[in-house]
C-alpha cells in the first residue's frame, strides 16, 4: 500500500523539511493580537515553547472573532440533557455575552491574569462558560471531573492553588443525583490551600445549602457582572492545567499553553476531522477529560463549528438509541467518542435495531479514541452504520491526535486495529529495550522525537523536573508515550496498549491487547480485559475477564474452552492462556478505560486502592464474587 504520491506524504514532508516554517504558516489560520515570528524555541534542555513572541486570546478566537466576522447568529453551542429532559441553544453572539459577563464577575472577585480557577461542574453550559471566561481574562482554569472524590479534589486544590472554585449543587449520573456541594465542602476542609470563594450554580434537582459570603450564587454574580473584554496573553502563558494520574499517586498537572494550543486545535479540526465553519461537531465526552477541553469547547468554537454538550450516557438515557437520536435531531456531521461507548451500545442492542428509528444521513464519519479500538467493535460499527469509522490515537498530554487517518486532506484504507499514520508534527518511532529503532512489525515503546508539536504539554504544572523524569528520561531526545505498539510495512501505526500491559510469560513478552482482540472476536463477547497475574513457575500468566452480550445464555464451561482455544490457536500454546472468567461488567474509569491494574492486583491477592476515577466502586465487589479462592 504505497503513499509515495499522496497528499499526506506531501504534508508530512513539508513539516519534516522545516517545522518552523510549517507551523508558522498554520499559525496564520488564527487571529493573533501580535503575530509570532518565532516557531519553536528551547527555553531549557528538553523544554520547548511555540510562538514565544506571539500574543492572542483564546476566548476571543472562540467567540468574538466569529461575531466580528458575521457569524454571530450561527449556533455555537447546543446543550442536550436527556437526564433532565431539557435542551438549550446558544448563538455565537449569545454565548459571547454570557461569557463576557461571567468573566466580568470573576474580575469583580479579584481574579486576574495568571490566577487559577478550579472548575468542578457537570456537563452543563456553565462548564463551557466558566472555561471560556477564565481564558478571556487570562486566568488559568483547572477542570476536575464533577463528582470526583473529596480527597482527590483536595489534592488538586493544593497543587493548583486556585483563588476561586466554580461548582454546582449537584450532578446527575443516569438516574442518580450526585450532591456536589458536600464533596466540595469536604475537599476545601481537607486542603491546605485556602480558597477565597466558591461560585455555586443551584440546580433545581437538588439545591445546596450556602455559606454566606463564601459561597456565591452563580446566576446572581453573572447577572451583575460587567462585560469584560478579552485580554492579551503571551502564546506561552498557560490556558489550563488538567490533572492526569501519576505513578506516584500524586496527579500530574498537564499544562496547556495558549498559542500552540490554538494553532493545533484549528489545524486538527481541518486535518484530522475534516470540519469547516458551520459544521456540527459532537464529542461525546466530558469537560473533565482532555477530549472535553479540546473537542467540546475549544477546537470546534475556534473553527466556527456548532458544538454539542451532552449530559447523558450512550445507554439508558433512555436506551441504546441515545446517540443516534442526538445525531439525527441536531444534524451532527462528525461524532467522536470512545470505543467503550459503542461496546455498551452493542451489548444492549447487538443488532442495532434502535438505529433504524433514526435518520443519520447527516453523519459523515465516526471518530474513536481514548482507548484501543478493538477490531470487533470496528467491524460491528462499520456494518451497522455504513459510515466510515476512524480510529485515532492521542493522550491528555498531547491534546490532539498523534496518529490519525488524515481525512481532511486524504482518506486511506482502514486497517482494523490501526490509528493509520502519524500526524504532521509527530515524529513517531518504535524503540526497543536497547534504545534502537524497531523493524517493521516489531513491537516496542512508542516514542515521539522532540520537539513535540504545538498543542502538546510544555511541562507539568510547577514541576519541570517531574516532566523530564516522567516523559523524557527513558529515551533521551524523545517523549515516551507509555504505550507499546509497532509500525507495519506500510507505515501504519498499531497501538497495542500501555507498556505495562505487556506481560512476560516464561521469558516471552506477550501483548494483552492482542489477546483481548481475539477474545472480543467471539460472537458471544461484548467486551473483555486481559491482564497478567503472578505465577511462581512462569513469572506471569494471562487471565481474561469477559462480559457477554445481552441475551446470550451459553454453557459457561464450553464458552471458556472456546475462548481458551481461540487464543491458543492464534498466538500458540506459548501464551499459556487457560482462564477466562465470565463477569457481569468490568470496572472502568468515568472516561471508560478498564482498570486492568486494579484487576491484576485483586487477582494477585494484593492490597489495592479503589481508584478515585472509578465509575462504580460496587463493581469491584461483584468481581470478587466471581473469583474463587483458588484464583487468589
Q: Are strands 140-143 and 116-120 parallel, antiparallel or unpaired?
A: parallel
For 199-229, how does the pLDDT look when each residue is reduced to its tens digit (9 = 90+)? 999 999 999 999 999 999 999 999 999 999 9
Whole-number Å distance between alpha carbons of 140 and 123: 20
Neighbours of 48 (CB within 10 A): 19
Q: How far apart are CA 290 and CA 456, in angstroms?
A: 12
pLDDT of residue 1: 44
Look at residue 336 and tell me whether its pLDDT is greater than 90. Answer: yes
If one compares 618 and 15, the residue with the highest pLDDT of the two is 15
Residue-wise pLDDT tens digits, 600-612 = 888 888 888 777 7
Indicate the range of 52-56, 244-248, 415-419, 430-434 predicted with least confidence.
244-248
Q: What does the pLDDT average to over 444-461?
A: 97
- For the cut 60, the answer to whether the pLDDT of residue 73 exceeds it is yes
Q: Is the pLDDT of residue 630 over 60?
A: no
Residue 354 has, within 13 A of its CA and on its CB side, a CA count of: 19
453: which DSSP letter?
P
Alpha carbon 62 to chain centroid, angstroms:
20
Question: CATH 3.40.50.12780 spans which residues of the chain?
Answer: 7-312+392-486
Quickly state the pLDDT bin for 339 (edges 50, 70, 90).
confident
pLDDT of residue 3: 61
Q: What is the pLDDT of residue 4?
A: 59
Q: Closest by alpha carbon to 121, among 90, 142, 91, 151?
A: 142
pLDDT(176) > 80: yes
Is 12 within 8 Å of 424 (Cβ atoms)?
yes
Reported as a pLDDT band with limits 50, 70 and 90, residue 564 is very high
Lowest mean pLDDT among 243-257, 420-434, 488-502, 575-589: 243-257
Element (H, E) at 505: strand 502-505
Is the pLDDT assigned to residue 249 strictly greater than 70?
no
d(CA 226, CA 101): 5
Give me 219's grid cell: 446566576
Q: Closest Cα to residue 349, out of 372, 373, 376, 322?
A: 322
Q: 235, 257, 254, 230: which is closest to 244 by C-alpha?
A: 254
Q: Who has greater pLDDT, 230 or 532?
A: 230
Among the listed residues 620, 616, 613, the one whose alpha carbon sits nearest the alpha carbon of residue 599: 620
pLDDT at position 632 is 40
Residue bearing cell 523524557: 472
Whether 140 contacts 134, CB under 8 Å:
yes
Please give the class, per CATH, of domain 506-631. alpha beta
Other residues' Cβ atoms within 10 Å of the Cβ of residue 462: 14
| The pLDDT of residue 507 | 57
Comparing CA positions, the residue from 344, 388, 345 lying closest to residue 366 is: 388
Measured in degrees and rounded to the nearest 5, phi and psi for residue 588 equal -135, 160
Examine the pLDDT at 629 and tell me if it is beyond 50: no
Strand duo 418-422 + 403-404: pairing? antiparallel
- Architecture of the domain spanning 7-312+392-486: 3-Layer(aba) Sandwich (3.40)
| Least confident among 266-280, 390-404, 432-446, 495-509 | 495-509
Amino acid at each position: 500500500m504505497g503513499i509515495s504520491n499522496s497528499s499526506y506524504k506531501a504534508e508530512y514532508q513539508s513539516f519534516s523539511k522545516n517545522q518552523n516554517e510549517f507551523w508558522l504558516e498554520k499559525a496564520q489560520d488564527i487571529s493573533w493580537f501580535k503575530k509570532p515570528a518565532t516557531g519553536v524555541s528551547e527555553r531549557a534542555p528538553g523544554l520547548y515553547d511555540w510562538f514565544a513572541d506571539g500574543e492572542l486570546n483564546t476566548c476571543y478566537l472562540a467567540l468574538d472573532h466569529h461575531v466580528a466576522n458575521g457569524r454571530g447568529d450561527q449556533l455555537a453551542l447546543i446543550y442536550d440533557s436527556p437526564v433532565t429532559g431539557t435542551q438549550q441553544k446558544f448563538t455565537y453572539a449569545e454565548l459571547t455575552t454570557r461569557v463576557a459577563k461571567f468573566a466580568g464577575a470573576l474580575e469583580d472577585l479579584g481574579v486576574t491574569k495568571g490566577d487559577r480557577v478550579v472548575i468542578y461542574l457537570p456537563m452543563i453550559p456553565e462548564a463551557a462558560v466558566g472555561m471560556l471566561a477564565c481564558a478571556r481574562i487570562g486566568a488559568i482554569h483547572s477542570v476536575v471531573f464533577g463528582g470526583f472524590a473529596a480527597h482527590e479534589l483536595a489534592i488538586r486544590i493544593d497543587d493548583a492553588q486556585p483563588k476561586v472554585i466554580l461548582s454546582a449543587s449537584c450532578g446527575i449520573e443516569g438516574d442518580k443525583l450526585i450532591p456536589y456541594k458536600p464533596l466540595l465542602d469536604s475537599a476545601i476542609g481537607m486542603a491546605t490551600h485556602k480558597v477565597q470563594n466558591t461560585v455555586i450554580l443551584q440546580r433545581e434537582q437538588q439545591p445546596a445549602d450556602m455559606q454566606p459570603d463564601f459561597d456565591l450564587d452563580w446566576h446572581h454574580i453573572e447577572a451583575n457582572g460587567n462585560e469584560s473584554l478579552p485580554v492579551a496573553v503571551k502564546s506561552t502563558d498557560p490556558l489550563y492545567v488538567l490533572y492526569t494520574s501519576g505513578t506516584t499517586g500524586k496527579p500530574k498537572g498537564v499544562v496547556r499553553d495558549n498559542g500552540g494550543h490554538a494553532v493545533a486545535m484549528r489545524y486538527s479540526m481541518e486535518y484530522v476531522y475534516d470540519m469547516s465553519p458551520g459544521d456540527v461537531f459532537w464529542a461525546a465526552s466530558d469537560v473533565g477529560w482532555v477530549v472535553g477541553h479540546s473537542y467540546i469547547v475549544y477546537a470546534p468554537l475556534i473553527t466556527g463549528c456548532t458544538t454539542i454538550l451532552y449530559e447523558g450516557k450512550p445507554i439508558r438515557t433512555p436506551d441504546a438509541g441515545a446517540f443516534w437520536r442526538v445525531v439525527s435531531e441536531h444534524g451532527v456531521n462528525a461524532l467522536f467518542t470512545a470505543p467503550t461507548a459503542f461496546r455498551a451500545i452493542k451489548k444492549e442492542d447487538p443488532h442495532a435495531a434502535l438505529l433504524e428509528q433514526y435518520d443519520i444521513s447527516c453523519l459523515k464519519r465516526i471518530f474513536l479514541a481514548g482507548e484501543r479500538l478493538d477490531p470487533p467493535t470496528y467491524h460491528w460499527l462499520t456494518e451497522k452504520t455504513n459510515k466510515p469509522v476512524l480510529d485515532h490515537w492521542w493522550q491528555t498530554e498531547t491534546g490532539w491526535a498523534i496518529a490519525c487517518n488524515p481525512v481532511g486532506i486524504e482518506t486511506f484504507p482502514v486497517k482494523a486495529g490501526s490509528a493509520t499514520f502519524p500526524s504532521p508534527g509527530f515524529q513517531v518511532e518504535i524503540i526497543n529495550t536497547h534504545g534502537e529503532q524497531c523493524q517493521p512489525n516489531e513491537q516496542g515503546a512508542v516514542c515521539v522525537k522532540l520537539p513535540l508539536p504545538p498543542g502538546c504539554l510544555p511541562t507539568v504544572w510547577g514541576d519541570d523536573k517531574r516532566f523530564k523524569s516522567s516523559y523524557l528520561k527513558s529515551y533521551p531526545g524523545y517523549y515516551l508515550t507509555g504505550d507499546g505498539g509497532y509500525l507495519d510495512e506500510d507505515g501504519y501505526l498499531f497501538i497495542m496498549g500501555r507498556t505495562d500491559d505487556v506481560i512476560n510469560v516464561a521469558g516471552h513478552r506477550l501483548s494483552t491487547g492482542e489477546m483481548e482482540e481475539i477474545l472480543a472476536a467471539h460472537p458471544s463477547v461484548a467486551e473483555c480485559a486481559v491482564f497478567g497475574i503472578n505465577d511462581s513457575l512462569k513469572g506471569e500468566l494471562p487471565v481474561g475477564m469477559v462480559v457477554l452480550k445481552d441475551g446470550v445464555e451459553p454453557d459457561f464451561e464450553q464458552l471458556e474452552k472456546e475462548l481458551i482455544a481461540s487464543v491458543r490457536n492464534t498466538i500458540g500454546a506459548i501464551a499459556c492462556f487457560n482462564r477466562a472468567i465470565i463477569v457481569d461488567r468490568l470496572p472502568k474509569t468515568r472516561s471508560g478505560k478498564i482498570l486492568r491494574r486494579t484487576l491484576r492486583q485483586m487477582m494477585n491477592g494484593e492490597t489495592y486502592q479503589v481508584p478515585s476515577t472509578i465509575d462504580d466502586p460496587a463493581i469491584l465487589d461483584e468481581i470478587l464474587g466471581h473469583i474463587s479462592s483458588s484464583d487468589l
